[in-house]
């Protein structure tokens, strides 16, 4: 792999590559291009509108909320709650999928300008995180934005017609004594068919102890709003929650089905916080007729196991030790 020329690294500073905040919002986001991936995912998966809570149940409340009937639906709301900048900045934290994607911002859009040519390389060879479900893509260019102020990014990229493929690793640690966020995102988007694929792993650490880890995989279509997802969150103790789901996230008369273990939840497209607060789980034989078409597929989805190191990153950040040295852990794919 070729080292990124110094002049290219300096030029990329003009792109204002995404500098994310962690925990409760962090730094004000800077330019992220058109943020293609963020918008495509929001048009694919459910983005639950807040209708009751004035603020999210950040950190301490993520696994329990007295006003939610079911803890799995509390988790689904926190991870998939709609995020809009700047209205939700400082309210929604990095447990939220859309917050993560917004902060990770223009990686997909800006990757061609960051890249330097390299030999075609498989995703599993260059990722800083050993995904248990690589998308089996390969890349022909890559680059690193020099670390500055605790922020750093590496991107691998390939474009083939309307298909764009990306693997990005990032670190956001402007205040490493109190918070360190390290993650890896792999994505594919076809701007013609609108097919989207995404998988990411992330650790948010609050030294000297505490934090949370997240895993997400999404596939679907931003035009039809059909999706399939796997999401999980844990606080490092192996007692977190894991959910799978499939269906259509938008459109009159459409529904989607989510599952937590043996518990099934049939929800209407456009479901809100109110819907998730009140829904009760059913067993597979009692799933609403609105969702029976998805039962077999959802039952067959393998949930992330929050006790399995192959499924979830480590809270101590050691899952991102591949790559070249950064501080406080190794996180970049390219020297």
Q: How confident is the model over 233-283, as pLDDT tens digits?
A: 999 889 899 999 999 999 999 999 999 999 999 999 999 999 999 999 999
Pairing label, strands 138-148, 151-160: antiparallel
Q: What is the pLDDT of residues 64-108, one digit of tens each?
A: 555 688 989 999 999 999 998 888 887 888 889 999 999 887 888
Domain ranges within the chain, ordered by starting residue = 6-320
Q: What is the mean pLDDT of the chain?
A: 85
Q: Any long-range contacts for 2-6 (C-beta under 8 Å, 24+ apart)? A: 2/116, 2/117, 2/118, 3/116, 3/334, 3/335, 4/114, 4/116, 4/142, 4/143, 4/144, 4/334, 5/116
Q: What is the pLDDT of residues 31-41, one digit of tens each?
A: 345 799 999 99
Quick one: pLDDT at residue 68? 82
Rounded to two decimals, what is the model's pTM? 0.87
Q: What is the pLDDT of residues 213-222, one digit of tens each?
A: 999 999 999 9
Averaged pLDDT, 114-140: 94
- Total residue count of the chain as it appears in this document: 335
Averaged pLDDT, 171-183: 92
Helices then strands, each counted (H, E), the chain: 8, 11
Quick one: pLDDT at residue 57? 47
In this structure, of 34-43, 58-67, 146-155, the range with the lowest mean pLDDT score is 58-67
Quick one: pLDDT at residue 6? 26
Residue the block writes with tokens 């789901």: 245
- Percentage of the chain modeled with pLDDT above 90: 63
Under the banding of pLDDT at 50, 70 and 90, the label for residue 322 is confident
Averaged pLDDT, 178-194: 96
């Amino acid at each position: 792999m070729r080292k990124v020329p110094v002049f290219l690294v300096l030029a990329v500073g003009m792109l204002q590559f995404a500098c994310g905040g962690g925990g409760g919002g962090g730094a004000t986001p800077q330019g992220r291009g058109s943020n293609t991936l963020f918008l495509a995912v929001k048009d694919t998966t459910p983005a639950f509108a807040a209708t009751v809570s004035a603020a999210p149940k950040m950190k301490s409340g993520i696994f329990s909320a007295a006003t939610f009937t079911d803890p799995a639906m509390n988790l689904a709301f926190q991870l998939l709650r709609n995020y809009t900048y700047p209205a939700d900045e400082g309210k929604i934290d990095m447990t939220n999928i859309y917050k993560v994607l917004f902060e990770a911002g223009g990686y997909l859009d800006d990757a061609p300008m960051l890249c330097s040519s390299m030999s075609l390389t498989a995703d599993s060879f260059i990722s800083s995180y050993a995904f248990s479900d690589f998308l089996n893509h390969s890349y022909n260019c890559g680059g690193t934005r020099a670390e500055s102020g605790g922020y750093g990014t590496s991107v691998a990229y390939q474009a083939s017609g309307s298909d764009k493929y990306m693997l990005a690793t990032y670190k956001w640690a402007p205040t490493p004594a109190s918070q360190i966020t390290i993650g890896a995102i792999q994505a594919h988007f076809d701007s013609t068919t609108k097919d989207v694929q995404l998988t990411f792993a992330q650790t948010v650490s609050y030294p000297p102890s505490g934090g949370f880890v997240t895993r997400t995989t999404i596939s679907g279509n931003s035009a039809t709003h059909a999706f399939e997802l796997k999401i999980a969150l844990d606080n490092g103790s192996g007692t977190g929650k894991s959910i799978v789901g499939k269906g259509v996230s938008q459109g009159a008369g459409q529904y989607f089905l989510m599952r937590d273990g043996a518990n099934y939840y049939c929800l209407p497209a456009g479901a809100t916080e109110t819907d998730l607060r009140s829904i009760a789980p059913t067993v597979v034989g009692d799933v609403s007729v609105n969702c029976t078409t998805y039962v077999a597929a959802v039952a067959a989805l393998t949930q992330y196991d929050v006790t399995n190191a192959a499924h979830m990153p480590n809270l101590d950040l050691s899952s991102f030790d591949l790559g070249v040295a950064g501080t406080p852990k190794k996180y970049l794919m390219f020297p």
